[in-house]
Structure 1
Amino acid sequence: MLNFKTLFPIFLVAFACNFNQAQVISSVVKDSATQQPIPYATILLSNKKGVITNEEGRFSLLLDKNSKDTDSLFISCIGYEGLRKPLNQFTESVIFLSAKPIELNPVIVSNKQYTAEELIEQVKEHIDKNYSTALTKKRLFFRDSYHQNLTKSNYTFKESTIAALNEKFLDSVLNTIPKKSSRYTEILGDFYGKYEKDNQKLTLIKASELYDKQSELDITALEEKFNDILKKNIKHDSYFKIKSGLFGTKVDVDEIFTPENEGADAEALKKELEEKKKKEENRKKNFASFKKGSLGKIMEKQFFLKDSDLNFIHKDNRYSFKMVDFTYIGDDAVYILDFEPKRSADYKGRLYIHADDFAIIRLDYSNVKSLRTFKLLGVSLDQHLDKGKMIFSKNEEGVYHLRYFEEELGAKVAIKRPLKIIELNKRVKGRNKQNELSLKIDMASSGVNRHEVILFDSETITSQQFNAVQENNTVLPTYMPNYDPEFWKGYNIIEPNQAIKDFTAQVEVN
């Protein structure tokens, strides 16, 4: 077993007499009245470089060597008084924000009082001005969290002519499958392109994976045990017929048994090494490509794109809108609207619309029905969850860019059907059935993917600059059996929540 590493708190704000020695400001933002953490507050250094507090109100901001103690740190959140102070005045580990009293700006009062529908029309008219679809380079941090629960794992044993494949063995199979599992992947990199997935590039800077290798080892050991049983009971001139319901699949024994290596010659060994090298190269390439694909799906989801699934602006006739409130983000006046589907649309949510330029600066959304269901011959799928939020900020050119994105995607899968594994002989004609395992399975699982992306910098680039980018596919994630607060030291990221900090694998494998 592991000697577990000590998890150190990161809520430390250290200011020495020489300010340049301070590298990071770490704190938690709370409501001054309720003492509750304030999630998704924006933390900006001199209105340029910044981060977002996580759902627990925590943040860490890396200061570069050019930072001065007179630089201002500005903290803002919807409904709260903005807080601006020189860096050398932030000396507490907790920062409190006060709720902002709603006092309507005289200019807004004197203007036409918009209905919810009229505000949406203004949003549509200003979309091209407020949001850009040009080629950009974005420095970003992307955390992908996956949690799976095995909610049902039943079977009915019917028959087995192989003594070793008995109920005791099948029980060990079920005991080996983890009932709950979690995995966290984090990357820091530069993302290039527009919003089409075929026109994007990603260069990785650093990556990590946090999960429990013990569950993988258990499954590998079970597979070896299963193969050993088959070797002792199945002839090498046989093949399997796997039947479940109306369908059957043929599997040669040679596909399961690995050849003995004792007599392997130099040529065979060379071929094996070449195969391993090729697998490693593909693994490197596929990791970056997979992350780029995930980011591409996130980018194309932004509401101002005409093909976005969040189509409440471009297809606003499918939705009902309701004026909810008027508030401030710092000194900026904001209208709050709720929307819900009239008929067949998929989402409901809340919009925060800037009163001056009619930009949607924050969006919270969730699905109102399952986005996809499938059921056939005992196999069912229900994609029941799709909710998230987007936060935008304005750059020096007056254009809004995505600053923070969060989504949760959930699905339930169930299998309830008979299963047979039948050994058939290749050479014996007629009734050639040799051995059989027959059972009925009834299993179900639910899984949730959570994606968090924070974009630190976004700059417009030319086609020549984009074409000159060479993707870095050699960076692989560093495996961690438990959270290491030192791993991302020196980089701006989204602060981990308590679940990530508390995650500990059962066994560390080198």
Structure 2
Amino acid sequence: MRAFFILGVLLLLSPFLNAQELTAKIIDSKTNASIPFVAVQTAPYKGVISNEEGEFVINLKDVDANMIEFSCLGYQSLTMSLEDLESNNYIIQLAPAINELDAIYLTNTKPNVDSIISRVSENLIKNYKSEALSYNFFYRETSYTNFENLDLEIKKSSKVKKRQLASANKELAAMGSSILNRKAVYFTDYSGTLNVLDDSLKKLNVEKATKIINSNNEMSLEAIQKNAQNTVLRYLDTTMTYKLKTGLFKIEDSLSLNDGDDDNEKDLDEFKIEDLKKNTWSVLQKSQTGSGSMLQTILNTKIYDYTLVNASVINGDVIYFITFEPKRSSAHFSGSLYVSENTYGVLKLDYKYAKGKQGEKINLKLLLGVKYIENVNTGTIIYQQNDQTIYEPRYIKNESGQYFYLNRPLKFIENSSDRPKTTFNFKIIGNTISREEVLFSSITRLNRLTFETLEEKEVVAYDVLKKYNNSTWSGQQTLAPTEELKAFDGKEN
């Protein structure tokens, strides 16, 4: 009996015994729905953000004075002790904030929404800083590819025999069918520090990186084309080299099967730091105030309409809830803003493509067999004031999606006197979705001398995982894994 009692106590305390980490979930007290993007503050200017499913993970050593504060725009803030959290089975209930717009403004002197937006624009430089800063962060990307059609076929060949041609096309058809039936998804996580002196001077230090993939991970357009090319080459004279052309354009001068094998041997589990830096900087820029940032984009009163929907009082500050919609055809987004009346700083921005709007489009279907449409662009940016009352990005999420069409006749021309040709058709149609999230654990000032002494590596090794492991990021401020990530098993895909 005593053994069962001890086991029960250990199970009850397991969140505390598991590397001194705690996992909990935040829900709406009225609807029981999960609340995403809640600020979980464990100490002054320290904490995490709940994920899209309302879950979060914190390290208990980061909890100051045994208390945790939960705050989310649209909800009443709540402070709980670790003991209270345990007694509630690690479920936190936040009460919705009361609609107080009419209560705050009892007379007819409600603020004009265009005036509020104008003051937000006037205070951008005062409220936000973006240069000479060192950003300590955790980055997660979830990427999906859905192939709707994949046609790989040798149309004709002046050197491959009919029986070989049938075998080659059977193998290519099997490859296409296999790719169409796979679940094309991968997860990339890395943490580090992005040091930004200005827009042109940036250095990235990556402390740790992982990639969770399925067993058959080579599903990019480049990888599919390369594997198909190698299949075709196996049925040609493998002692020869070939020119590879698509329409009028020459792709390769001296392609051979051996070249493809050599490339595979050189594949390493490494990320180029330059690529990761571009990824991180691209997301970070959305939260800043320069040209192309989301704030500059949606604060354009010439092309957007705004509506003051509500207001509430949080810690003595009136917070305006404002929605925006396109007024002119040049505007692309709809969404909402939470604005402080005291500082006219934006605390939260939600955006997405408005109905009927799309992003970049390329349609060279008839000329080059290429079509591309950016059809998804949605995101959330959460800001928090630091001890100098400057608004800093706390969490950024951006999801982008594209439709792609690629129809390329590839011609293999043997480098010989008679120059026999083999024509191969490569047609692929599908959609990709990429969701990027960045959680900032700290942002500090950076001087030029410090920046110049920083060293930046060219590559960083990453750990290849088939399944998410809680211990991988133990002790670090990260985003809690979603149910999809926890359930994903690369060995089964």
Q: Give TM-score scaled by structure 2 length.
A: 0.84
User: Structure 1 residues 26, 507: closer, same or farther in 2, change over 3 A?
Assistant: closer
- CA drift of 1:37 comes to 0.7
The one-letter code of the counterpart of 2:273 is: A
User: Structure 1 residues 400, 223: closer, same or farther in 2, change over 3 A?
Assistant: same
Q: Contact between 2:400 and 2:433, CA under 8 Å: does it hold in 1?
A: yes
TM-superposition CA deviations, 1:208-267 (whole Å, max 9, x none): 11012334499788766544332xx3663xx535444444545325x4435999xxxxxx
Question: How many Å separate the matches in 2 of 1:392 and 1:413?
Answer: 34
Give the secondary structure class of the aligned counterpart of 2:272.
helix
Aligned position for 2:4? none
User: Structure 1 residues 78, 187: closer, same or farther in 2, change over 3 A?
Assistant: same
Superposed counterparts of 1:158-169, under 5 Å: 158-160=155-157, 161-163=159-161, 164-166=164-166, 167-169=169-171
User: Structure 1 residues 476, 249: closer, same or farther in 2, change over 3 A?
Assistant: closer
Superposed counterparts of 1:332-481, under 5 Å: 332-343=317-328, 344-368=330-354, 369-376=357-364, 377=367, 378-416=369-407, 418-423=409-414, 425=416, 428=417, 432-434=418-420, 436-438=421-423, 440-472=425-457, 475-481=460-466
Question: How many Å separate the matches in 2 of 1:298 and 1:484?
Answer: 26
Give the secondary structure class of the aligned counterpart of 1:64.
helix
Aligned position for 2:115? 118
Q: Contact between 1:381 and 1:413, CA under 8 Å: does it hold in 2?
A: yes
Superposed counterparts of 1:26-45, under 5 Å: 26-45=23-42
Q: Contact between 2:154 and 2:165, CA under 8 Å: does it hold in 1?
A: no
Q: Contact between 1:143 and 1:185, CA under 8 Å: does it hold in 2?
A: yes
Aligned position for 2:474? 489
Q: Contact between 2:363 and 2:372, CA under 8 Å: does it hold in 1?
A: yes
- CA drift of 1:207 comes to 1.1
TM-superposition CA deviations, 1:358-387 (whole Å, max 9, x none): 111000111232221112222111122211
The one-letter code of the counterpart of 1:339 is: F
Question: How many Å separate the matches in 1 of 2:140 and 2:27?
Answer: 24
User: Structure 1 residues 246, 46: closer, same or farther in 2, change over 3 A?
Assistant: closer
User: Structure 1 residues 298, 107: closer, same or farther in 2, change over 3 A?
Assistant: same
Greater shift, 376-385 or 21-30, is seen at: 21-30
Q: Contact between 1:336 and 1:351, CA under 8 Å: does it hold in 2?
A: yes
User: Structure 1 residues 319, 216: closer, same or farther in 2, change over 3 A?
Assistant: closer
- CA drift of 1:467 comes to 2.1
Q: How many residues align?
A: 464
Question: How many Å separate the matches in 2 of 1:14 and 1:299?
Answer: 38
- CA drift of 1:194 comes to 4.5
Q: Contact between 1:424 and 1:433, CA under 8 Å: does it hold in 2?
A: yes
User: Structure 1 residues 98, 507: closer, same or farther in 2, change over 3 A?
Assistant: closer
Tell me, which stretches of 5 or more residues in structure 2 are unaligned? Answer: 1-10
Matched, 1:72 2:58: no
TM-superposition CA deviations, 1:245-291 (whole Å, max 9, x none): 444545325x4435999xxxxxxxxxx9xx96xx86xx85x522211
TM-superposition CA deviations, 1:144-198 (whole Å, max 9, x none): 12111111113676433413233313213313435431111111111211551x2
Question: How many Å separate the matches in 2 of 1:86 and 1:291?
Answer: 38
Aligned position for 2:258? 257
Aligned position for 1:214? 216
Q: Contact between 1:47 and 1:74, CA under 8 Å: does it hold in 2?
A: no
Superposed counterparts of 1:88-127, under 5 Å: 88-91=83-86, 92-103=89-100, 113-127=110-124
The one-letter code of the counterpart of 1:406 is: K
Question: How many Å separate the matches in 2 of 1:222 and 1:153?
Answer: 11
User: Structure 1 residues 379, 404: closer, same or farther in 2, change over 3 A?
Assistant: same
TM-superposition CA deviations, 1:1-37 (whole Å, max 9, x none): xxxxxxxxxxx98389xx9998222100011111111
Aligned position for 1:292? 277
Question: How many Å separate the matches in 1 of 2:215 and 2:146?
Answer: 17
- CA drift of 1:479 comes to 0.7
The one-letter code of the counterpart of 1:171 is: A
Give the secondary structure class of the aligned counterpart of 1:317.
coil
Superposed counterparts of 1:195-206, under 5 Å: 196=199, 198-206=200-208
The one-letter code of the counterpart of 2:448 is: S
User: Structure 1 residues 35, 312: closer, same or farther in 2, change over 3 A?
Assistant: same
The one-letter code of the counterpart of 1:454 is: L
Q: Please, what is the CA RMSD of the aligned residues?
A: 3.4
Greater shift, 340-349 or 416-425, is seen at: 416-425
Q: Contact between 1:14 and 1:25, CA under 8 Å: does it hold in 2?
A: no
TM-superposition CA deviations, 1:421-479 (whole Å, max 9, x none): 34352xx3xxx243x43355542021111100000111222222222222355642111
Q: 1:173 aligns with which of 167, 172, 175?
A: 175
Question: How many Å separate the matches in 2 of 1:156 and 1:224?
Answer: 13
- CA drift of 1:303 comes to 5.0
Q: Between the two proteins, what is the percent identity of the paired residues?
A: 25
Q: Give TM-score scaled by structure 1 length.
A: 0.81
Matched, 1:82 2:77: yes
User: Structure 1 residues 484, 234: closer, same or farther in 2, change over 3 A?
Assistant: closer
Matched, 1:322 2:272: no
Give the secondary structure class of the aligned counterpart of 1:55.
coil
Question: How many Å separate the matches in 1 of 2:209 and 2:359?
Answer: 31
Question: How many Å separate the matches in 2 of 1:259 and 1:394?
Answer: 52
The one-letter code of the counterpart of 1:308 is: S
Question: How many Å separate the matches in 2 of 1:119 and 1:260?
Answer: 62
Q: 2:22 aligns with which of 21, 25, 46?
A: 25
User: Structure 1 residues 221, 336: closer, same or farther in 2, change over 3 A?
Assistant: closer
Question: How many Å separate the matches in 2 of 1:417 and 1:85?
Answer: 60
Aligned position for 1:183? 186
Aligned position for 1:264? none
- CA drift of 1:502 comes to 1.2
Aligned position for 2:3? none
User: Structure 1 residues 395, 194: closer, same or farther in 2, change over 3 A?
Assistant: same
The one-letter code of the counterpart of 2:92 is: I
Question: How many Å separate the matches in 1 of 2:52 and 2:300?
Answer: 31
Question: How many Å separate the matches in 1 of 2:315 and 2:260?
Answer: 69
Question: How many Å separate the matches in 2 of 1:321 and 1:194?
Answer: 35
Question: How many Å separate the matches in 2 of 1:159 and 1:183?
Answer: 36
- CA drift of 1:85 comes to 2.4
Aligned position for 1:4? none
Q: 1:229 aligns with which of 208, 230, 235?
A: 235
TM-superposition CA deviations, 1:93-121 (whole Å, max 9, x none): 21111122234698766895211101011
TM-superposition CA deviations, 1:472-498 (whole Å, max 9, x none): 556421110111111111111011111
- CA drift of 1:59 comes to 0.2
User: Structure 1 residues 259, 405: closer, same or farther in 2, change over 3 A?
Assistant: closer
Give the secondary structure class of the aligned counterpart of 2:190.
strand
User: Structure 1 residues 110, 480: closer, same or farther in 2, change over 3 A?
Assistant: same
Superposed counterparts of 1:264-303, under 5 Å: 287-303=272-288
